């Protein structure tokens, strides 16, 4: 595959939307109905998403339906139902737009825009998205190759908008027992070929609720950074995609199971704490501290190896230390970590690193003398 790419860079992109980071260690779950139907429906959906541990509320306002006689979405009336419900429950919001007018209409109130499978190669729209400051979830087209999908993302990136999240949602194959065929290799490959976060939509892939939990778990195991799952407060009454919509209880159960799978691949899915007391919070802190110790140990291992390549006269490199601190400060602001904490901790880490390198040199010299 011969991609250019504005999309290629050394490290993975993390996309920060308010306090939520897509593409980091945390698995981000998007939940909500296929279509926004009413204010009440969106409030119950938002409550269910928040209580289960989801971070983003979805709901289609403009629905790209196969038949013109099916429900086409509430249009602009739905924007406030989605945005208000998300705000009330501290969630982000995402909705699909099909054209520039739609984008203009939702831009102010909705946090993330989705480009649906049917519009993946709507190049005019992709170019427009390149010029706005909005994160975009770009779904893979129904019959698009991975290359075509990444080139579509490239249109947005090349226009200057770097906040693109890829979403695998199943492709059309000869198989008819499922609505589409979920292409899990595409998740691994898209993560290899690009730096962008990749999420999976098991709902539109399967088209039936019984398969969604296993596909969702497989997606996390294969490295997806998040999931987009259809969940309706009352699937039997849904105006769109009821057969693939989980109930709030099924959604909650699924997230618990996903947390376990996540741990197996070194990812976190933070479930709301059932007990808001001190103990569950301390347990979480213990896990984070363990990670910090492991990371420091890894850092020191590398430091020792670097020591072997250094000139004994120039073990300390002040310029490099200043560069590291500068980078850390900018990462810290991205994730709301107090910069002064790093300013205090890092000089200690640098000192310890230098001591280890000097010690390494001395013990090698001693070996030599002997
Ligand atoms: C949707 O997410 O509501 C949707 C229509 O999905 P897709 O574009 O993947 O069919
Ligand atoms: Mn749907």
- CATH 3.20.20.70 domain position(s) in the chain: 5-264
34 ligand 1 Cβ < 6 A: yes
58 ligand 1 Cβ < 6 A: no
204 ligand 1 Cβ < 6 A: yes
60 ligand 1 Cβ < 6 A: yes
Residue 79 Cα to ligand 1 midpoint, Å, equals: 17
Here the tokens at position 325 are 């601190």
Nearest ligand 1 atom, CA 140: 9
CB 200 within 8 A of CB 233: no
52 ligand 1 Cβ < 6 A: no
Atom 5 of ligand 1, residue of closest alpha carbon: 116
- As beta bridge partners, residue 58 has 94
169 ligand 1 Cβ < 6 A: yes
- Taking only the tens of pLDDT, the chain with its 370 residues reads 656 555 556 689 999 999 999 999 999 999 999 999 999 999 999 999 999 999 999 999 999 999 999 999 999 999 999 999 999 999 999 999 999 999 999 999 999 999 999 999 999 999 999 999 999 999 999 999 999 999 999 999 999 999 999 999 999 999 999 999 999 999 999 999 999 999 999 999 999 999 999 999 999 999 999 999 999 999 999 999 999 999 999 999 999 999 999 999 999 999 997 766 788 789 889 989 999 999 999 999 999 999 999 888 888 999 999 999 999 998 888 778 999 999 999 999 999 999 999 998 888 766 655 4
- CATH 1.20.59.10 domain position(s) in the chain: 278-369
Residue 240 Cα to ligand 2 midpoint, Å, equals: 6
Q: For the domain made up of 5-264, give the CATH fold.
A: TIM Barrel (3.20.20)
- Is the pTM higher than 0.85? The answer reads no
Residue 114 Cα to ligand 1 midpoint, Å, equals: 9
Count Cα atoms within 13 angstroms, Cβ side, for 249. 1
What number does CATH give the domain 278-369?
1.20.59.10
């Amino acid at each position: 595959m011969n991609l250019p790419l504005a999309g290629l860079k050394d490290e993975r992109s993390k996309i920060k939307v308010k306090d939520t980071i897509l593409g980091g260690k945390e698995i981000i779950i998007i939940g909500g109905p296929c279509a926004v139907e009413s204010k009440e429906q969106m409030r119950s959906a938002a409550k269910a998403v928040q209580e289960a541990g989801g971070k983003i509320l979805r709901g289609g306002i403009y629905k790209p339906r196969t038949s013109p006689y099916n429900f086409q979405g509430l249009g602009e009336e739905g924007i406030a139902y989605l945005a208000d419900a998300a705000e009330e429950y501290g969630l982000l919001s995402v909705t699909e737009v099909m054209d520039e007018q739609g984008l203009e209409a939702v831009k102010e109130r909705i946090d993330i825009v989705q480009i649906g499978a049917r519009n993946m190669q709507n190049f005019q729209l992709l170019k427009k998205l390149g010029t706005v400051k909005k994160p975009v979830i770009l779904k893979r087209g129904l019959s698009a190759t991975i290359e075509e999908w990444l080139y579509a993302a490239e249109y947005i990136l090349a226009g200057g908008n770097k906040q693109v999240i890829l979403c695998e949602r199943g492709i059309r194959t000869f198989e008819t027992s499922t609505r589409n065929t979920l292409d899990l290799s595409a998740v691994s490959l898209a993560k290899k070929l690009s730096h962008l976060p990749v999420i999976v939509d098991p709902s539109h892939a399967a088209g039936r609720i019984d398969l969604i939990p296993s596909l969702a778990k497989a997606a996390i195991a294969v490295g997806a950074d998040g999931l987009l799952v259809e969940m309706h407060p009352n699937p039997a009454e849904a105006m769109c995609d009821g057969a693939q919509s989980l109930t709030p209880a099924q959604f909650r159960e699924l997230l618990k199971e996903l947390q376990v799978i996540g741990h197996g691949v070194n990812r976190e899915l933070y479930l709301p704490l059932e007990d808001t007391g001190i103990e569950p919070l301390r347990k979480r802190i213990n896990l984070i501290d363990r990670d910090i110790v492991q990371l420091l140990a890894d850092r020191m291992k590398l430091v020792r190896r670097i020591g072997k390549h250094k000139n004994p006269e120039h073990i300390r490199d002040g310029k490099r230390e200043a560069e590291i601190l500068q980078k850390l400060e900018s990462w810290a602001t991205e994730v709301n970590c107090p910069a002064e904490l790093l300013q205090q901790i890092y000089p200690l880490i640098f000192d310890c690193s230098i001591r280890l390198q000097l010690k390494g040199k001395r013990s090698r010299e001693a070996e030599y003398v002997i």
